Structure 1
């Protein structure tokens, strides 16, 4: 697993988050860890096909997701993640991945992305635990968004 696989997603996430919620995220430490679904967590899963095959998974706690959704909706306070909230957080993952695929294309790597799937812990039964290259983005006053790249080839 190569560290450069995660860089386009990291670069894109910083840009998109700054545009969408006006916060410049800090970068945590790169590592490899098991992707495990835990309670009160949301996962945005996007498939990668082409010269890179696998998944990009964005993981965040429900509390962090609500703060991001609220910021995306102009500060409207939300207390639960409804259909509109799932759509907003899904679109965030889609925008990050779309921009990252453009960065990869400009580096000579062709990759297509699948539409995002938003998963809560209970919905993740079909997702096997596997190792991922991971890096957290730390958003001041909001929390962390984990970027996890699972590349098959």
Structure 2
């Protein structure tokens, strides 16, 4: 996978997340994995189509998802990962991927994205690719957050 396809996603996180109230964002390791991601608790899968094709999966723990949802909802406590919190996390994934798609379009790649698919539960595999894909590990206010990217 071409690294120039990855940077639009990193740029999306560093642009969009601060607009939603997240100031402490740290990039961790970038690694390569095979085919499937093990869910950390909450995973949102978004498809990318047209000139660039593949999948992006945002993977986080339950605690990270509740923290992000709470921040997006102006600090409203999120004790259970209910429909409102799930909607907030899906919208975050949509905003991040749409921003990355806009960045890719600016680079000359015509792209479109699918509606996010949210899954809840830890310990199951989410197929990302038929081969290898990249994982960008981030810490958002010290909470683990992964972006799994399989694009061609």
TM-based fold match above 0.5: yes
Identify, as 1 or 2, the structure richer in strand: 2
Aligned residue in 2 for 1:132: 133
State the TM-score, normalized to the length of structure 1: 0.88
CA contact (8 A) 2:66 2:80 kept: yes
Q: CA RMSD in A?
A: 1.8
Task: Count matched residues.
Answer: 148
Give unpaired runs (5+ residues) of structure 1.
none
What does 1:43-54 correspond to in 2, within 5 Å?
43-54=43-54
State the TM-score, normalized to the length of structure 2: 0.88
Aligned residue in 1 for 2:106: 106
Give unpaired runs (5+ residues) of structure 2.
none
Structure 1 runs (4+) greater than 4 angstroms displaced: none
Q: Alignment partner of 1:97: what SS?
A: helix
Structure 1 pair 129–49 and aligned structure 2 pair: CA distance change class (3 A): closer
Structure 1 pair 138–80 and aligned structure 2 pair: CA distance change class (3 A): same
CA contact (8 A) 2:44 2:57 kept: yes
What does 1:1-153 correspond to in 2, within 5 Å?
1-34=1-34, 35-38=36-39, 41-121=41-121, 127-128=126-127, 130=129, 131-141=132-142, 143-151=143-151, 153=152
